[in-house]
């Protein structure tokens, strides 16, 4: 009997060992990142996506609401920040489970479907889907009035879901989905009258109001949701620290400062008509024209072009500040001002001299382009960063276009907001419509100053 008892014990031990051996590959396959590992390696890897709310580069500097929150969290932990970009939710979760990232911070809302794969933090921003319509479109104040309308949306549950529920309630609305057209571009199409209606989450709608003032945010189409970060379900200490971090920055004002950087004055449209341009040129240019002329002459530029650029940048306001942190007449970013030894970025003379030197430095990078393309490309680089210009040039070459012509880049820059183009670009997502509009507006102002011979100078200029 005693020998039989030891035999059973040995058999049970073998079964346990086999079970552990079978389970080990399943456990180790999910290599989630812990808070301890982040502290040990000194690096926080955040998974995000390219979008105006999440992550992008502006004048070669990383930007984005989620990026700034992630950077603040890395500072909170006392570690370095590394950003990994993914295209969609599924690929982000895969990176998380492989241990190639610690946190998903990509403007995703809390949902039961997504929650089956991850653990969500506490929500940090309430959002809600809204109908976006052009100003001259017939007024839609009730959901019932959507009957017979066509709504173009990005193919995502956050947008198609509310419309599906509306259709289940008997309202016949035609929904056209797009897989590779971002919501920001659909808003632009609404503003331009290419399409009639789209749907955007409230935070995306707010970010785009200043860019597309003809697009109006109208009725809400769904219930409020919360944006949140996500971790692996097993990373409980990390999730707890994220929630503590959010509580802390809500109290100490850091969250409000980051929010203000991207969302302050979203109702103030930067809409400039020619009448305003003429008035401001008359009342403001005379104070700065001597310095503009001197800086332009030293660097080989037409002073009227520099004046047009300054007006586009700041409306000739020496203490102008942008949401991205650019300052002064020529909207210098702090890093650019520092590299050019600017003592007082709000000093008009220093700001103008530094801005024109910065433009000349960019101009020197495009020796293979001839006038006037070289100058236009340099101006575009001033606006969006030289990295995006290089990406646009490479894309132009792939498409058989001349990469040294501005006409080519005016086509390829806007293409860099689509995943199939920016996925192979070194500097990633780019709001490429903006530098194109930037150049177009400067040329309008420049043409007026040249053709009408307007010179509003100080008497002793």
pLDDT of 150 reads 93
**What average pLDDT does this structure show over 418-424?**
93
Residue whose token pair is 């293409």: 415
Q: Are residues 282 and 377 in the same domain?
A: yes
Say how far apart CA 357 and CA 389 lie, in whole Å.
19
Average pLDDT over residues 79-88: 94
- The reply to whether 279 and 235 lie within a common domain is no
pTM of the model: 0.71
Residue 104 covered by a domain: yes
- End residue of a domain, out of 235, 263, 291: 263
456 in any annotated domain: no
Closest of 393, 386, 341 to residue 369, by C-alpha: 393
pLDDT for res 158: 80
- DSSP letters spanning 143-211: GGGGTT-EEEEESSHHHHHHHHHHHHTT---EEEEESSS-HHHHHHHHHHTSSSEEEEEHHHHHHHHTT
- What pLDDT score does 452 carry? 54
Asked if the structure places residue 26 within a domain, the reply is: no
Buried b (16+ CB within 10 A) or exposed e, 173-185: bebeebeebbbbb
Q: Which range, 258-262, 286-290, 352-356, is most confident?
A: 352-356
Residue with tokens 């236009």: 376
What is the per-residue pLDDT for 212?
77
| Judgement on whether residues 296 and 437 belong to the same structural domain of the protein | yes
- Tens of pLDDT, residue by residue over 306-355, are 999 999 999 999 999 988 899 999 999 999 999 999 999 999 999 999 99
Note whether 238 and 359 are same-domain residues: no
149 belongs to a structural domain: yes
Same domain membership, residue 255 and residue 209: no
Query: What percent helix, strand, coil does the chain show, rounded to 5?
Result: 50, 15, 35
The long-range contacts involving 32-37, CB below 8 angstroms and separated by at least 24 positions, are 32/96, 32/97, 32/99, 32/231, 32/232, 32/234, 32/235, 33/96, 33/99, 33/101, 33/102, 33/232, 33/235, 33/238, 34/235, 34/237, 34/238, 35/235, 35/237, 35/238, 35/241, 36/237, 37/102
Query: Are 78 and 22 within 8 A, CB to CB?
Result: no
Whole-number pLDDT of residue 24? 39
Tell me which residues are annotated as active site.
313
Q: Considering only CA atoms, which of 423, 442, 298 is closest in space to residue 380? A: 442
Lowest average pLDDT, out of 249-263, 270-284, 293-307, 431-445, goes to 270-284
Please tell me the predicted confidence (pLDDT) of residue 19.
46
- Determine the Cα–Cα distance for residues 220 and 204; give it in Å rounded to an integer: 14
Residue 28 located in a structural domain = no
pLDDT digits (tens, 9 = 90+) for 405-415: 999 999 999 99
Side-chain half-sphere of 7: how many Cα atoms within 13 Å? 4
Question: Does residue 419 share a domain with residue 288?
Answer: yes
pLDDT at 111: 84
Q: What is the pLDDT of residues 141-153, one digit of tens each?
A: 889 889 989 999 9
**Residue 315 domain-assigned?**
yes
Strands 150-154, 174-178: pairing is parallel
* 314 shares its domain with 170: no
Identify whether residues 75 and 182 lie together within a single domain.
no
Assess whether 187 and 326 both reside in one domain.
no
- For residue 375, being part of any structural domain is answered with yes
User: Around 329, how many Cα atoms within 13 Å sit in the side-chain half-sphere?
Assistant: 26
Q: Kindly report the CATH number assigned to the domain that includes residue 308.
A: 1.10.530.10
The domain tally of the chain equals 3
Same domain, 334 and 422: yes
Give the end of a domain, one of 243, 263, 283.
Answer: 263
Q: Determine the pLDDT at residue 264.
A: 65
User: Backbone phi, then psi, for 190, in 5-degree steps?
Assistant: -65, -45
Domain that holds residue 105: 35-124+227-263
What is the structure's pLDDT at 210?
A: 65
**Beta-carbon contacts of residue 424 (< 8 Å; ≥ 6 apart):** none
Q: Which of 442, 453, 372 is nearest to 406 (CA)?
A: 372
Q: Are residue 291 and residue 382 in the same domain, yes or no? A: yes
For tokens 């420049």, what's the residue?
446
Of all residues in the chain, the percent with pLDDT exceeding 70 is 88
Res. 421: pLDDT tops 60: yes
**6 has pLDDT over 90:** no
Looking at residue 255, its pLDDT comes to 95
Q: Which residue among 223, 251, 282 closes a domain?
A: 223
Q: What is the pLDDT of residue 274?
A: 60
State the average pLDDT over residues 39-58: 91
Residue 171 belongs to domain with CATH number: 3.40.190.10
Residues 253 and 359 in one domain: no
What average pLDDT is seen over the chain? 87
Q: Which pLDDT does position 456 carry in this prediction?
A: 35
Judge whether 44 lies within some domain.
yes
């Amino acid at each position: 009997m005693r020998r039989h008892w030891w035999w059973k014990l040995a058999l049970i031990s073998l079964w346990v060992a086999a079970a552990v051996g079978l389970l080990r590959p399943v456990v180790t396959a999910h290599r989630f990142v812990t808070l301890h590992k982040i502290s040990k390696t000194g690096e926080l890897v955040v998974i995000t996506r390219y979008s105006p709310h999440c992550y992008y580069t502006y004048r070669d500097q990383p930007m984005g609401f989620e990026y700034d929150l992630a950077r603040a969290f890395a500072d909170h932990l006392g570690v370095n920040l590394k950003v990994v970009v993914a295209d969609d939710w599924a690929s982000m979760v895969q990176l998380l489970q492989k241990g190639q990232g610690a946190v998903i911070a990509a403007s995703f809302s809390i949902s039961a479907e997504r929650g089956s794969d991850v653990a969500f933090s506490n929500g940090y921003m309430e959002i809600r889907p809204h109908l976006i319509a052009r100003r001259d479109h017939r007024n839609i104040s009730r959901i019932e009035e959507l009957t017979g309308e066509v709504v173009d949306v990005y193919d995502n549950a956050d947008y198609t879901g509310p419309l599906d529920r509306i259709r289940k309630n008997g309202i016949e609305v035609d929904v056209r989905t797009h897989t590779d057209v971002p919501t920001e571009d659909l808003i632009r199409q609404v503003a331009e009258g290419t399409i009639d209606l789209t749907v955007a989450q409230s935070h995306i709608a707010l970010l785009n109001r200043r860019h597309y003032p003809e697009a109006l945010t109208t009725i809400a189409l769904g219930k409020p949701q919360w944006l949140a970060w996500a971790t692996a379900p097993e990373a409980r200490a990390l999730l707890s620290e994220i929630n503590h971090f959010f509580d802390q920055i809500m109290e100490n004002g850091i969250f409000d400062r980051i929010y203000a950087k991207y969302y302050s004055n979203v109702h103030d449209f930067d809409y400039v008509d020619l009448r305003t341009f003429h008035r401001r040129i008359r009342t403001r240019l005379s104070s700065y024209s001597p310095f503009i002329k001197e800086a332009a002459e030293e660097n080989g530029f037409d002073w009227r072009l520099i004046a047009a650029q300054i007006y586009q940048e700041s409306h000739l306001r020496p203490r102008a500040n942008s949401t991205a942190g650019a300052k002064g007449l020529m909207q210098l970013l702090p890093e650019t001002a520092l590299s050019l030894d600017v003592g007082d970025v709000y000093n008009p003379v220093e700001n103008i001299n530094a801005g024109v030197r910065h433009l000349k430095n960019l101009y020197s990078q495009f020796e293979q382009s001839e006038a006037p393309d070289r100058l236009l490309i340099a101006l575009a680089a001033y606006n969006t960063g030289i990295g995006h210009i290089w990406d646009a040039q490479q894309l132009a070459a792939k498409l058989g276009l001349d990469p040294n012509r501005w006409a080519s880049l005016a086509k390829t820059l806007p293409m860099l907001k689509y995943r199939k183009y920016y996925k192979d670009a070194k500097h990633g997502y780019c709001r490429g419509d903006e530098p194109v509009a930037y150049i177009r507006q400067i040329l309008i102002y420049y043409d007026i100053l040249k053709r009408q011979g307007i010179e509003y100078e100080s008497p002793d200029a």
